[in-house]
Amino acid sequence: MNQEYLVFVVLPGNNSGLIRDALLRRGHKWKEAASLSDHHVHFRWQPVSYGLKFDQLGSLIASGAHPSCKQLVNHFEFHGNLTEKSKLFKNMTGYALNNLRENVFNYIPLTFFVEIDVHKTKMFAKAMVPFFNSFYALEDNKRKVVKYYEKLEDYLAGVLPPVKSAGNLEEAKAENPTDEAFIFKHFYNNRRGLIKQHLKEEREAQD
């Protein structure tokens, strides 16, 4: 191994060609290893961290190589705690409860962690029910918000008929978007089966 050069290896995947070209353009200082399996390198780039032995970095530099005995890789040890959504959710949940004493969803989006055997369809369907309920409830609420602002615009524009008598006062309040009766009727009346309703709507849309 030539002492004047630093040696690198770039494994294929995830636009690795860009990394390899960038290093080859610096040929006055970097040389590519003869084999992708060569571990006696100063820099190792690979699309995933699987197979990297972080505890051995720096110990595999061959004698007589470049004076630099440091080995670099393009991954952090234990990075999965941040880059894997399931682990990030678990870590953030523990931190929010134990350190902040707050709801984790004040800091991250609504998250569902489902860990099941996809071949057991009944368990899969059962585990997904909380997600479906929340998802369709959110979708239903989006429609309610749109409907509310449409009615509010109509009301402010004078499109809705005014109240004519005290007999239909409560009914008129229920259609007045500035009254709490309207909010209660359209945002808290959630007795319908949201999953069945949305699945029906999706089938109708496809037909």
What are the E-state strand segments in the chain? 6-10, 30-32, 43-45, 72-73
| Residue 101 sits in the same domain as residue 161 | no
> Is residue 79 one of the residues assigned to a domain?
no
Q: What is the pLDDT of residue 67?
A: 60
Phi, psi of 32 (to 5 degrees): -80, 140
Helices 121-156 and 180-187 meet at what angle, rounded to 10? 160
| Residue 91 sits in the same domain as residue 20 | no
CA nearest to 48, candidates 95, 87, 80: 80
| Residue 56 sits in the same domain as residue 35 | yes
pLDDT digits (tens, 9 = 90+) for 116-146: 776 777 777 777 777 787 777 777 777 777 7
| Residue 89 sits in the same domain as residue 44 | no
Lookup: tokens for 126: 């059962």
| Residue 139 sits in the same domain as residue 179 | yes
Alpha carbon 87 to its chain's center: 12
Distance CA 207, CA 204 (A): 5
Lookup: tokens for 32: 């590519």
Q: Provide the domain limits for residue 189.
A: 117-206
- Residue 132 one-letter amino acid: F
Q: Are 72 and 44 in contact (CB under 8 A)?
A: yes
pLDDT tier, 27 (very low <50, low <70, confident <90, very high otherwise): very high
> Is residue 171 one of the residues assigned to a domain?
yes
Q: What is the pLDDT of residue 191?
A: 45
Helices 121-156 and 194-206 meet at what angle, rounded to 10? 80
If one compares 154 and 81, the residue with the highest pLDDT of the two is: 81
Least confident range of 141-150, 151-160, 176-185: 176-185
Distance CA 12, CA 19 (A): 10
| Residue 106 sits in the same domain as residue 182 | no
Distance CA 49, CA 73 (A): 9
Residue 92 CB neighbour total at 10 angstroms: 18
Question: Would you state the torsion angle of the CA atoms of residues 139, 140, 141, 144, taken in this order, to the nearest 10 degrees?
Answer: 130
| Residue 121 sits in the same domain as residue 197 | yes
The residues facing 48 across adjacent strands are none
Give the count of domains, the chain. 3
Q: What is the pLDDT of residue 45?
A: 96
| Residue 107 sits in the same domain as residue 134 | no
Structural domain ending residue among the three candidates 52, 73, 94: 73
pLDDT tier, 47 (very low <50, low <70, confident <90, very high otherwise): very high
| Residue 140 sits in the same domain as residue 169 | yes
At 100, is the secondary structure helix, strand, or coil? helix
| Residue 108 sits in the same domain as residue 145 | no
Sign of CA dihedral 29, 32, 37, 38: negative
